[in-house]
Amino acid sequence: MKSTHHSEYLALKWVFIKPAIHAFISNARIAEQWRDLNYLAQPDFDAALGEYEIFKKVISDNGSEIHSFPRNESVTMDSIYCRDASIATDFGMIICRMGKPARANEPPSQKKTFSKLGISVLGEISAPGTLEGGDVAWLDEKTLAVGHTYRTNNDGIVQLKQLLEPKGIEIIVAELPHYKGPQDVFHLMSILSPVDKNLAVVYSPLMPVAFRNELLKRGFELIEVPDDEFESMGCNVLAIAPKKCMMVEGNSKTKQALINAGCDVIAYQGKEISIKGGGGPTCLTRPMLRSY
């Protein structure tokens, strides 16, 4: 069985998560933080724990080995969206530097966990560079797409290239639009979710023309998310195996489009853990190893 870190769609065999109980901690802590972190509304702690257990069970029931990032008082409740603080590669982890200042302590916190588990680190993004994991997506084992956004700046992209291009990895930069501005969470994976070798869920109205054409040139079939399902995270889809994926409940049109494309879709209730904080299933996971 061949395994790689360089995939968004192969069978998910090993994944890190930050359980809601470790990230949200309590209703009191949520009350202290949610406004400053730009959540849409205050999550309910008990309801969030219930949603998260169901979310976690889907992943474990589908054969993934799950490791959890521990509770850490130096990070905020945003740490539940654990994809953003690091990038997994076959050469070691890349420790990010967050574009959202309130999340600055998350990358060193994850690095500490990786060190305890003997997981190697290829490199770290340093100031003035910023790079968030939600802005990168593997298009194939040798190609990594990165979004130039308010969370990931040019200096961060240059450092990413310096780490990976000598290893034979092609970096494709997608110049993303302003959209709602610096305070909003808008990553490359807000508009792109690969779910099979040549199949991706996309939101084309916010996709750069050059990048969208590159996907078509590479043979991708694009599943288009309708306007009325973009804000409810219809485009945020986590593949747990080729054409088997998870998405937030309530995006019926996108779900049907995925089914029409031959996908098996599992929808989870994400009002507390996803919708209010703007982080879908890709954000809630730090995928590590996937296998053929």
pLDDT in tens, 39-67: 999 999 999 999 999 999 999 999 999 99
Q: pLDDT tens for residues 111-128?
A: 999 999 999 999 999 999
Query: Hey, what amino acid is at 69?
Result: F
H or E, element range at 45: helix 45-61
Topology (CATH) of 3-291: L-arginine/glycine Amidinotransferase; Chain A (3.75.10)
Per-residue pLDDT at 1? 75
Task: Give tens-digit pLDDT for 256-274.
Answer: 999 999 999 999 999 999 9
Tell me 84's DSSP state. G
Count of beta carbons in the 10 Å neighbourhood of residue 38: 14
Q: Over the stretch 222-246, which tens digit does the pLDDT of each residue have?
A: 999 999 999 999 999 999 999 999 9
pTM metric for this prediction: 0.97
Sign of the CA dihedral 234, 235, 240, 245? Answer: positive
pLDDT at res. 84: 98
Question: Exposed (0-12), middle (13-18) or buried (19+): which is 2, by Cβ within 10 Å?
Answer: exposed
- Tens of pLDDT, residue by residue over 12-42, are 999 999 999 999 999 999 999 999 999 999 9
- Using 50, 70 and 90 to split pLDDT, how confident is the model at 71? very high
Q: Please give the mean pLDDT across all residues of the chain.
A: 97
Domain boundaries of the chain, sorted by first residue: 3-291
- What confidence category does residue 78 fall into, taking pLDDT thresholds of 50, 70 and 90? very high
With 90 as the cut, is the pLDDT of residue 164 above it?
yes
pLDDT of residue 8: 98
- What pLDDT is stored for residue 258 in this prediction? 98
Structure tokens at 32: 């202290």
